[in-house]
Chains A and B, each alone.
Chain A
């Protein structure tokens, strides 16, 4: 990527920031960001400050389970409505994938 492309990126980055589309970086960005994010509802059941300190860092809730070959094959079968008509080798592969997925959990 040449310098011109980099400058275009910089223009876009600054435009997105100053107009509140992305996370604010400077004091100048903060007001616009907050205006744009006014409709985000903050839940009223956030833990209190003492609980936060006593619990320590959160267990990550990013869901990665289920994103595997087994799931994709199942989804494929479901989409095509032919779960019972799959070739034997695919069924065997799905069975192995299912076992592997269980071990990963």
Chain B
């Protein structure tokens, strides 16, 4: 399977759903797919688990759970939408890790300490590589400017801001309660303070952008002023 293209591996993995007799071949393809992408999935998981105490263990759990979801839904990936299939797969996997993380948190409440049978889970996984059209026309800060702007924030503000944006869906922030709770413990603050700190960080960044870039006048003042 080492020479197979990534999109072919996913096709072969997906075959077992329609035809169980192909399971051995599907598992071989799955093994190769896992080998190629486990590092990427682990790193995404590690980033998402940032605020949790046992971050390494959670990242490992998420990696495993994400690949179970891939096994079940491999045929949902649509390579036709990708310019570069391997990068497209990585973006697709990132979305699956996020959904898996939310399920994982949910499971911590409902099912601990038993493990969960696969068939009990109805998974929502994005059908395609996200196109993210909503922000295509929006400008952004280049790396150095963003790094400078973030450096002006206090550590607490930066951590909370980035965590909030980790769970931004394009219209609102959807930080899971358990993550908020861990952030509160980490920074020794109340839940009600979290949002205020996030808002304060955004205001500081807004001031920085207004002072040092042309982004805000173009985006916010000229269009809507």
> A residues near B, CB below 8 A?
3-4, 6-16, 18-19, 21-27, 29-31, 34, 37, 40, 42-43, 46-50, 52-53, 55-64, 67
Contact = CB atoms under 8 A, between A and B. Distances in A.
Contacts of B20: none
8 contacts: A4-B220, A13-B165, A14-B135, A14-B140, A23-B44, A43-B42, A60-B111, A63-B54
Given A9-B168, A15-B141, 9 more contacts: A8-B220, A12-B205, A13-B135, A13-B168, A18-B140, A21-B146, A25-B95, A40-B43, A60-B105
Contacts, number: 186
Contacts of A16: 146, 162, 165
Nearest to A64: B108
B2 interface: no
B27 interface: yes
Contact of A10 (B107, B138, B209): B138
B197 interface: no
Given A52-B64, A56-B115, A11 B141 contact: yes
Interface residues of B, number: 87
A10 B133 CA distance: 12
Contacts of A12: 165, 202, 205
A21 to B, nearest CB: 6
A18 B91 CA distance: 13
